[in-house]
C-alpha cells in the first residue's frame, strides 16, 4: 500500500502544483523520485509531528495542498491537537497520511500499533477518513483526495498487502465497493482487512453460507445506503477492521445500525481493548484477536439463526 500511495501521489502531483509532501523524518529513500520531480515540494520537518501539522496548516493558508506523513501513532495521536485546531478548525486542505494501520508494525510493539486512530480521527469535525483495503484502493483513495478539498486522514497498511482488486478501481469520498455479493451474511470491511474479508467469504462458501463482502474505504462519510442494503438483504451484518473494536469503523457502523432499529444480527470484529505485551508479527496479533478468516467465519456461523 505504501508504494502504491507514493506512486499515486507522485502521479497526481504532476497535475496539481499545490500538492506538497511533508514527512516527519520517515520514508528513507521512498520519496526520492517525488523530491527529484518536484523540487521544493518535498519537505522533511524532522522528528516534529506537531510542527508538521502546524506547517501544513500554514501552507494551506497560502493555497497549498499538503500531505503529511508518518507512522500512524505519530501522525495522529502525537499531534492530535494540532490536527484538530490547526487543520480541522481551519478547514484546511491537508491530508494526514498514516502508514502502518493496525498491526502492520507488529514486532515493533504497542507504541507502533495503530488501533485507536480511526476512532479519534473520525470524531473531528470537517475530517474525512479513508482506509483503503489494498493497493488498487490506495491509488483510488489518493485520486479521490486529489479531487477533494478539506481535512482528510488516509490510513495505509505497510507493504506487501495482498491485491484484492485485480484491476484498477475508482471511488469517491463516501463510496463503498461491492467486492462479492451474498445473501446470508454481509462482511463490511475497512482498510487492510479486505483480503481477510474475502477469505471469510470463501470459508463460509465451503459451509454453504452465502457472504457479501463490502469494502468500505470511506469510514467518514459512510456509505449508509450500502449498509442499509446489507441490513435488509442479509441476516447477519459484521464489520471487520484492524483497529480497536471501540469507536472505529465498527463503532461508526454500529451508530448507524442502532438508529435504524432493525432486527438484523450485528457484530463488530476488531482488536480487543488491551495493549499487546508480547512480541508478534501482524498474523500473530490477528490470530490473538480472533481476526483470521477462519476465526471470523466460525464466529459468524455461530451467529447465523
Residue 98's DSSP bridge partners are 70, 155
Site string for another protein, 174-213 (x = CB under 8 A): ----------------------------------------
- Give the list of residues 6+ apart from residue 144 with CB closer than 8 angstroms, or none: 130, 171, 172, 173
Least separation in angstroms between residue 59's CB and another protein is: 5
Separation between Cα atoms, residue 31 and residue 79, nearest integer Å: 22
Is residue 20 part of the contact set for another protein (CB under 8 A)?
A: yes
| Region 36-65 residues binding another protein, contact defined as CB under 8 A | 40-41, 43, 45-46, 48, 50-51, 53-64
Q: Rounded to whole angstroms, how far apart are CA atoms 46 and 49?
A: 8
| The one among 16, 32, 33, 81 contacting another protein by CB under 8 A | 81
Q: Applying CB under 8 A, what is the total number of residues that bind another protein?
A: 28
User: Residue written as cell 499545490?
Assistant: 18
Q: Rounded CA gap, 236 and 224, in Å? A: 16
CB of 8 to another protein, least distance (A): 22
Interface positions, 97-156, toward another protein (CB under 8 A): none
Which SS3 state, helix, strand or coil, does residue 131 take?
coil
Query: How many Cβ atoms from other residues are within 10 Å of residue 125's Cβ?
Result: 9
Look at residue 166 and give its three-state secondary structure.
coil
If the CB atoms of residues 78 and 267 are measured against another protein, the closer one turns out to be 78
Q: What angle do CA 143, 145, 149 make, to 5 degrees?
A: 135
Q: Smallest distance from the beta carbon of 97 to another protein, in angstroms?
A: 17
Q: Which is nearer to another protein, 22 or 72 (CB)?
A: 22
Binding site for another protein (CB under 8 A): 20, 40-41, 43, 45-46, 48, 50-51, 53-64, 81-82, 85-86, 89-91
Amino acid at each position: 500500500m505504501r508504494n502504491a500511495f507514493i506512486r499515486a501521489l507522485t502521479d497526481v502531483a504532476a497535475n496539481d502544483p499545490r500538492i506538497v509532501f511533508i514527512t516527519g523524518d520517515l520514508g528513507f529513500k521512498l520519496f526520492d523520485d517525488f523530491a527529484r520531480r518536484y523540487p521544493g515540494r518535498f519537505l522533511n520537518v524532522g522528528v516534529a509531528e506537531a510542527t508538521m501539522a502546524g506547517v501544513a496548516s500554514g501552507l494551506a493558508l497560502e493555497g497549498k495542498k499538503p500531505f503529511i506523513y508518518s507512522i500512524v501513532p505519530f501522525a495522529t495521536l502525537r499531534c492530535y491537537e494540532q490536527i484538530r485546531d490547526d487543520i480541522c478548525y481551519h478547514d484546511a486542505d491537508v491530508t494526514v497520511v498514516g502508514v502502518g494501520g493496525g498491526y502492520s508494525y507488529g514486532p515493533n510493539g504497542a507504541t507502533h500499533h495503530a488501533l485507536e486512530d480511526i476512532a479519534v480521527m473520525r470524531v473531528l469535525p470537517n475530517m474525512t477518513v479513508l482506509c483503503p483495503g489494498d493497493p488498487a484502493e490506495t491509488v483510488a483513495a489518493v485520486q479521490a483526495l486529489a479531487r477533494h478539498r478539506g481535512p482528510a486522514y488516509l490510513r495505509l497498511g505497510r507493504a506487501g498487502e495482498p491485491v484484492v482488486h485485480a484491476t484498477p478501481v475508482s471511488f469517491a469520498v463516501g463510496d463503498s465497493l461491492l467486492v462479492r455479493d451474498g445473501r446470508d451474511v454481509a462482511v463490511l470491511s475497512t482498510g487492510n482487512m479486505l483480503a481477510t474479508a474475502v477469505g471469510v467469504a470463501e470459508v463460509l462458501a465451503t459451509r454453504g453460507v452465502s457472504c457479501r463482502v463490502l469494502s468500505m474505504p470511506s469510514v467518514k462519510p459512510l456509505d449508509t445506503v450500502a449498509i442499509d442494503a446489507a441490513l435488509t438483504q442479509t441476516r447477519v451484518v459484521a464489520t471487520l477492521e484492524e483497529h480497536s473494536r471501540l469507536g472505529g469503523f465498527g463503532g461508526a457502523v454500529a451508530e448507524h445500525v442502532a438508529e435504524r432499529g432493525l432486527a438484523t444480527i450485528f457484530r463488530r470484529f476488531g482488536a480487543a481493548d488491551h495493549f499487546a505485551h508480547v512480541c508478534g508479527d501482524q498474523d500473530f496479533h490477528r490470530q490473538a484477536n480472533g481476526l483470521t478468516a477462519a476465526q471470523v467465519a466460525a464466529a459468524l456461523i455461530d451467529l447465523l439463526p
